[in-house]
């Protein structure tokens, strides 16, 4: 300005402020209320520092306001358009070197705020001296704070439109305090990955044409007390030993209440700090990959809790949630639903999906509560919802979001898979987004979908006493009516073994021997049925008690000192052998999503409680799976088989003595006879063990 360069400094509680530039030291005039100013006879703005005098100390420091904004025009344009696919690199707290000075860039989206300040341990949680700059119409606020590094605690102090103030955790914080503390933590990753071979290989075959058996793990309670790094020493070895191809981890993203199992997220970009820092979580994923195990994680984009330090009315008005209270309030969980129609919110979630896959090398996202997103009338009575523009109940914004999310993830991260937990018959969940179906919608673009119908029906059948099962035979066969409408996962998840639903073995009728036999027969049927498998921890060794997040699986059941340990070890040995045989048999997974990969032998033997079918690989090589859900041995049971197989041999029998069974089976190769049965020219006579499944392959 005329006469030189004007300096203005806002330092609350300071007694004096001087400008240091070169060898020049100039004290500024005290304008009151923490403001200091002065006009220096300079031609241009120099590199300078401040010397600030307080009552008991003098500090030399950089002036945050001498630095130009750290966010570029392209970042702001993409944020404004809702198309910033790496949003976490633009918003949040980022340690960086800016104009030659080390510090942290703080950036937040708060378009309704009258003002935003940064508060943290570095300024005694008083953000008065660190107001952020508004970067225009995008609603983004930014400030670079010199001298602040990784590990510092912070929040944003937001002045709402009505003038009141609220302290908020950073929506894009990449690290948080350990709950119940709620501050965000400045984070800088120093992790070096060692899974390059895994990443290069995982895109070779799409998930629906590859073997996939998933072990679902609640991380805090699998072995209570273990950190991410301690889990990394035990979990990969355990999962590898049992032969599972993948783990599905819950909960991952930060959440305030452990009893929510991670389904009420407050830190969408931060792995839960209960078990370690983000680099510790990367170490766990890395070790799983190095053991040849894929990593899926539960992802929760449907809703978020109402905590007043998190996303709810973040800047004083509905922002992440829908502006219509009826649309915002989730009727079942007391939470808020995201406004999928707002481009910045959609961007926040799409980028979050990409973030986990790119930054943490996650191989797949199991997307929670998809049905609650798709329907405007989900759990709502008439009068509690408004139809869409076509008069329908479909949430068109949510459909567009899911399509964008899936298309973006699959484009950016080769080899990943997205899995929908969708409990209705929505058309085209696993259809490509550009292929329209009868409903007029393009597909949602998921890779796989949980088969909730199969899970419900088959567990209902198994819970019946065997004498009654003949009246419910259709509960085991109905799944094949729609088996190829989507790419399916068969889930026996945490949801099925809590809150009065009983553990898997406790759902079964009969005495202890029969309960275990039923579980073994069921697992043999499940692993042979079209679809991928998912089994929750504790069920692999027939734990009798329901799962509790407070103490996890009952590992003591496997202690050799426990009298019934052999019963539980037998079921676990079966799961190991199921996975081993499954992975070695392309007929069980190569054509999982094609009708050519399955053929009934007999699906109507309701009086016998018997189900028999063939699984076929791409070359037609068969596996014969036969389940006898009656508690009697069936001798010389005749089944029609292909006439081009000279002999069959048993490759798996859930009644083997080492699994806890009676040892009934077919130890010798079984040769077909030229006697027609079940529409086939040849047939075999088998001995079917009681409450058991047997698999046979060409000898």
User: 438 pLDDT band (50/70/90 cuts)?
Assistant: confident
Known catalytic membership, residue 465: no
User: Do 209 and 82 fall into the same domain?
Assistant: no
pLDDT of 657 over the 90 cut: yes
Domain end: 158, 186, 214, which one? 186
For residue 548, tell me if it sits in a domain. Answer: no
Preceding peptide of 339 cis, ω within 30°? no
Catalytic residue among 397, 421, 608, 655: 421
Point out which residues pair with 626 in neighbouring strands.
612, 694
- Structural domain for 302, as ranges: 195-450
For residue 295, tell me if it sits in a domain. Answer: yes
User: Do 693 and 656 fall into the same domain?
Assistant: yes
Among 490, 491, 492, residue whose Cα is nearest residue 502: 492
Per-residue confidence (pLDDT) for residue 442, from 0 to 100 = 87
User: Do 201 and 330 fall into the same domain?
Assistant: yes
For residue 117, tell me if it sits in a domain. Answer: yes
pLDDT of 441 over the 90 cut: no
Entry field: residues in the chain: 699
Arithmetic mean of pLDDT, 60-68: 94
Residue 8 token pair: 């203005």
Q: How far is 272 from 266, CA to CA, in rounded Å?
A: 10
Q: How far is 112 from 106, CA to CA, in rounded Å?
A: 18
User: Do 256 and 320 fall into the same domain?
Assistant: yes
User: 668 pLDDT band (50/70/90 cuts)?
Assistant: very high
Q: Output the DSSP codes for 391-423.
A: S-SB-HHHHHHHHHHHHHHHHHSTT-EEEE---
Around Cβ 161, how many Cβ atoms within 10 Å? 11
For residue 568, tell me if it sits in a domain. Answer: no
Among 585, 586, 556, 581, residue whose Cα is nearest residue 656: 581
pLDDT of 257 over the 90 cut: no
Per-residue confidence (pLDDT) for residue 331, from 0 to 100 = 85
User: Do 280 and 365 fall into the same domain?
Assistant: yes
Q: How far is 3 from 389, CA to CA, in rounded Å?
A: 62
Q: How far is 134 from 331, CA to CA, in rounded Å?
A: 36
Secondary structure element (H or E) that encloses residue 105, with its range: strand 101-109
User: 440 pLDDT band (50/70/90 cuts)?
Assistant: confident
For residue 368, tell me if it sits in a domain. Answer: yes
Domain end: 161, 186, 211, which one? 186
User: 502 pLDDT band (50/70/90 cuts)?
Assistant: very high
Per-residue confidence (pLDDT) for residue 345, from 0 to 100 = 98
Point out which residues pair with 515 in neighbouring strands.
none
User: Do 202 and 242 fall into the same domain?
Assistant: yes
pLDDT of 105 over the 80 cut: yes
The total of structural domains in the chain comes to 4
Q: How far is 80 from 600, CA to CA, in rounded Å?
A: 55
Arithmetic mean of pLDDT, 470-486: 96
Q: Which of 16-20, 325-329, 415-419, 512-516 is predicted with the least confidence, judged by mean pLDDT?
A: 325-329
For residue 586, tell me if it sits in a domain. Answer: no
Per-residue confidence (pLDDT) for residue 537, from 0 to 100 = 97
Among 622, 628, 650, 678, residue whose Cα is nearest residue 476: 628
User: Do 79 and 150 fall into the same domain?
Assistant: yes
The domain that holds 152 is classified in CATH as 2.60.40.10
Nearest 5°: the CA angle 404, 88, 252 is 80
The domain that holds 227 is classified in CATH as 3.20.20.80
Catalytic residue among 368, 567, 577, 650: 368
Query: Residue 302 has what DSSP assignment?
Result: S
The domain that holds 623 is classified in CATH as 2.60.40.1180
User: Do 441 and 294 fall into the same domain?
Assistant: yes
For residue 613, tell me if it sits in a domain. Answer: yes
Arithmetic mean of pLDDT, 570-595: 97
Per-residue confidence (pLDDT) for residue 437, from 0 to 100 = 81
Answer yes or no: are the C-beta atoms of 596 and 616 closer than 8 Å. yes
Known catalytic membership, residue 421: yes
Q: Which of 260-264, 553-557, 674-678, 684-688 is predicted with the least confidence, judged by mean pLDDT?
A: 260-264
At 178-218, the pLDDT tens digits run: 999 999 999 999 999 999 999 999 999 999 999 999 999 99
Q: Cα torsion for 337, 343, 348, 351, to the nearest 10°?
A: 130
User: Do 272 and 406 fall into the same domain?
Assistant: yes
Q: Taking all residues of the chain, what is their mean pLDDT, rounded to a whole number? A: 95
User: Do 266 and 182 fall into the same domain?
Assistant: no
User: Do 326 and 243 fall into the same domain?
Assistant: yes
Three-class secondary structure of residue 366 per DSSP: strand
User: Do 85 and 232 fall into the same domain?
Assistant: no
């Amino acid at each position: 300005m005329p006469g030189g360069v004007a300096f203005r400094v806002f330092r609350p509680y300071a007694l004096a402020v001087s400008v240091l530039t070169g060898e020049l030291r100039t004290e500024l005039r005290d304008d009151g209320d923490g403001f200091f100013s002065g006009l220096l006879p300079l031609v241009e703005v120099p590199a300078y520092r401040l010397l600030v005098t307080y009552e008991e100390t003098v500090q030399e420091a950089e002036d945050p306001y001498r630095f130009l904004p750290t966010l570029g025009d392209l970042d702001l344009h993409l944020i404004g358009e809702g198309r910033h696919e790496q949003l976490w690199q633009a918003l949040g707290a980022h340690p960086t070197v800016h104009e030659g000075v080390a510090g942290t860039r703080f950036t937040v989206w708060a378009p309704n705020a009258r003002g935003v300040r940064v508060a943290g341990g570095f300024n005694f949680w008083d953000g008065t001296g660190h107001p952020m700059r508004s970067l225009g119409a995008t609603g983004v606020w930014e400030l670079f704070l010199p001298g602040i590094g990784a590990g510092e605690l912070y929040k944003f102090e937001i002045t709402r439109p009505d003038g009141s103030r609220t302290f908020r955790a950073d929506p894009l914080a990449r690290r948080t305090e350990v709950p119940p503390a709620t501050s965000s933590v400045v984070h800088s990753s120093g992790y070096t990955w060692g899974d390059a071979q895994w990443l290069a290989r995982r895109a070779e075959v799409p998930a629906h044409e590859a073997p996939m058996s998933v072990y679902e793990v609640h991380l805090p309670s699998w072995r209570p007390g273990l950190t991410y790094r301690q889990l990394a020493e035990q979990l990969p070895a355990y999962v590898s030993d049992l032969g599972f191809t993948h783990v599905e981890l819950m909960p991952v993203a930060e959440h305030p209440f452990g009893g929510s199992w991670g389904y009420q997220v407050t830190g969408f970009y931060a792995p839960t700090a209960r078990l370690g820092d983000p680099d510790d979580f990367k170490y766990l994923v890395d070790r799983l990959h190095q053991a040849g195990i894929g990593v899926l994680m539960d992802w929760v984009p449907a809703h978020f809790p109402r905590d007043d330090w998190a996303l709810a009315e973040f800047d004083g008005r509905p922002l992440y949630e829908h502006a219509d209270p009826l649309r915002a309030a989730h009727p079942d969980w007391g939470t808020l639903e995201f406004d999928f129609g707002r481009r910045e919110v959609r961007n926040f979630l799409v980028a979050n999906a990409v973030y986990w896959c790119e930054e943490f090398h996650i191989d797949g996202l199991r997307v929670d509560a998809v049905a609650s997103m798709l329907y405007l009338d989900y759990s709502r009575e008439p009068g509690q919802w408004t139809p869409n523009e076509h008069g329908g109940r479909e949430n068109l914004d949510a459909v567009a979001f899911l399509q964008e999310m899936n298309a973006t993830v699959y484009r950016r991260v080769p080899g990943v898979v997205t899995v929908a937990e969708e409990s209705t018959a929505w058309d085209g969940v696993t259809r490509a987004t550009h292929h329209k179906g009868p409903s007029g919608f393009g597909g949602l673009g998921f890779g796989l979908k949980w088969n909730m119908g199969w899970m419900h029906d088959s567990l209902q059948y198994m819970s019946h006493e065997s004498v009654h099962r003949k009246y419910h035979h259709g509960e085991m066969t109905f799944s094949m009516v729609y088996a190829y409408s989507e790419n399916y996962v068969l889930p026996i998840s945490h949801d099925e073994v809590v809150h009065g639903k009983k553990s898997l073995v406790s759902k079964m009728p009969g005495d202890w021997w029969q309960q275990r036999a039923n579980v073994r027969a069921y697992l043999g049927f499940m692993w042979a049925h079209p679809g991928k498998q998912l089994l929750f921890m504790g069920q692999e060794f027939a734990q009798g008690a329901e799962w509790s997040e407070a103490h996890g699986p009952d590992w003591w059941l496997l202690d050799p000192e426990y009298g019934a340990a052999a019963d539980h070890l037998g079921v676990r040995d079966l799961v190991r052998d199921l996975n081993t045989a499954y992975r070695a048999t392309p007929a069980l997974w190569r054509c999982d999503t094609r009708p050519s990969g399955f053929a009934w032998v007999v699906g109507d033997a309701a009086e016998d409680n018997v189900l028999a079918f063939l699984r076929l690989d791409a070359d037609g090589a068969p596996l014969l799976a036969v389940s006898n859900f009656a508690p009697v041995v069936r001798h010389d049971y005749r089944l029609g088989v292909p006439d081009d197989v000279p002999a069959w041999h048993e490759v798996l029998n859930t009644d083997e003595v080492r699994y806890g069974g009676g040892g009934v089976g077919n130890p010798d190769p079984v040769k077909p006879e030229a006697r027609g049965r079940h529409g086939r020219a040849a047939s075999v006579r088998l001995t079917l063990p009681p409450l058991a499944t047997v698999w046979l392959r060409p000898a």
